[in-house]
Amino acid sequence: MFENIKKIRENDPAAKSYLEVILCYPGLHALWFHGIAHFLYKCKIILLARYINYLTRFLTGIDIHPGAKISSGIMIDHGMGIVIGETAEIGKGCLIYQGVTLGGTGKESGKRHPTLKENVVIGSGAKVLGNITIGANVRIGAGSVVMRDVPDNCTVVGIPGRVVKTNIQNSDHMLDHGEMPDPVAKVFSILHEKIESLQIEIANMSKEKIKKDMFKKEEKEFLQEFFIDGDGI
């Protein structure tokens, strides 16, 4: 409990005091209620656990299934619209923004939700689906859809999610959306350079062709004048 409070106080510049964090952060409240619901779930008191989950969703806008395993030191920023499935596992130090879904991909049984290792950051609106593992210190960009395992120390963006940066050295794993790479823009930049180089090559080829055509025209005129229409040799 206290690790979650400390995590918010250290990482959220909007938090002005510990008392404000305790009273005004729905993500923290959702984690507290989840702790109670998860204990009841493990004790096989399923109905009461689900009812606490229902009340928590009503109060905070955050839906965490009582079966989900969540470590301490987690930060849920704002939290509205977050959905965390029954078999999801979240490691210590993770940061989850609003609108995130840790969900399944169908009606399969058993482990069907993601596992997040330590210090994972998931941007707003991202979807992490299926029984996959997200490695330690991974950053997932806002709006991304991830359906495959991601190794440690990577940045993932896009739909579907693609690894665009590896071996993150910065120990501060807070997600800075302004520094996220844009693979689509990079592809368009490469294509633009290719098109420009092809245009130059085509222009050069056209100049050569014009020179050759002019030479052939001169040859034809010479033959026509002196050998065909003229007296010949």
Which tens digits make up the pLDDT trace of 118-127?
A: 889 998 889 9
The helix (H) or strand (E) run that includes residue 145 is: strand 145-146
Span 181-192, average pLDDT = 69
Q: Which of 53-57, 70-74, 177-181, 229-233 has the lowest mean pLDDT?
A: 229-233
Span 127-152, average pLDDT = 89
Span 195-219, average pLDDT = 71
> pLDDT tens digits, residue range 27-54?
888 999 999 999 999 999 999 999 999 9
Residue 203 pLDDT exceeds 80: no
Please give the residue that has the higher pLDDT: either 94 or 200. 94
3-state helix/strand/coil string of 16-72 = CCHHHHHHHCHHHHHHHHHHHHHHHHHCCCHHHHHHHHHHHHHHHCCEECCCCEECC
Q: Which of 44-48, 110-114, 174-178 has the lowest mean pLDDT?
A: 174-178
Residue 189 pLDDT exceeds 90: no
Span 58-73, average pLDDT = 90
Angle, helices 46-60/26-42, rounded to nearest 10 degrees: 170
Distances (CA, A) of 92 to 44, 95, 101, 117: 25, 9, 18, 7
99: which 2 tokens?
Answer: 């609108």
Span 61-69, average pLDDT = 91
- Segments making up each domain of the chain, as ranges: 2-181, 182-233
Residue 225 pLDDT exceeds 70: no
Residues 178, 157: Cα–Cα separation, whole Å: 13
How many other CB atoms are there within 10 angstroms of residue 93's CB atom? 22
CATH number for region 2-181 = 2.160.10.10
| Percent of all residues in the chain with a pLDDT value above 70, rounded to a whole number | 79
Distant-in-sequence contacts of 110-114, Cβ < 8 A, 24+ apart: 111/87, 112/85, 112/86, 112/87, 113/68, 113/84, 113/85, 113/86, 113/87, 113/88, 113/89, 114/88, 114/89, 114/146
- What pLDDT shows up at residue 12? 73
> What is the radius of gyration, based on Cα positions, of the chain?
31
- What pLDDT shows up at residue 11? 75
Please give the residue that has the higher pLDDT: either 182 or 123. 123
Residue 143 pLDDT exceeds 90: no
